[in-house]
Amino acid sequence: MRRLTLLSTLMLGASAAAPAEAAPPASAPVAASAATLARLMEADTNRDGQVSRPELIAWRAASFARFDRNGDGSLSLDDIPSFLRGAPIGSQMADLIRQYDANADGRLARAEFVTGPTPLFDLADANHDGLATKAEVDAAAARLRAIGKP
């Protein structure tokens, strides 16, 4: 279960971006779930009830080593146990790599992960002020649940 929790945390921002005013498309990747979006609040390091983009970037930087399970300095399918690679967790990691891998080497360097896209943050930041409040995160999660992405 810990592996699944780590990957769902890792997947913050790994889904397709969608306008905040509209429901996300039903075709959004598996990673775009209400549960994953709710984990965005883990990045609220100053505990003010909202996450700023700089807080999210800092959280990603601090979390990278936890996700790099084999310690090689990058994220890849090698960080998932072989018996899980064919499971949904493996396809979610592959989706993450496709979305963040700027140099197309099949791995995510620390810089690619830390400064990569933030579509779940963008989905939650309904008023586009650079802050995702708890209320905005809850509303975005409700939209995801409404289209069957619990």
Query: What is residue 59's predicted lDDT score, i.e. its pLDDT?
Result: 94
For 54-83, what is each residue's pLDDT tens digit? 999 999 999 999 889 999 999 998 888 888
Query: What is residue 111's predicted lDDT score, i.e. its pLDDT?
Result: 95
Window from 83-97, 108-122, 127-141 with minimum mean pLDDT = 83-97
Residues in the chain, total: 150
**pLDDT of 23 over the 50 cut:** no
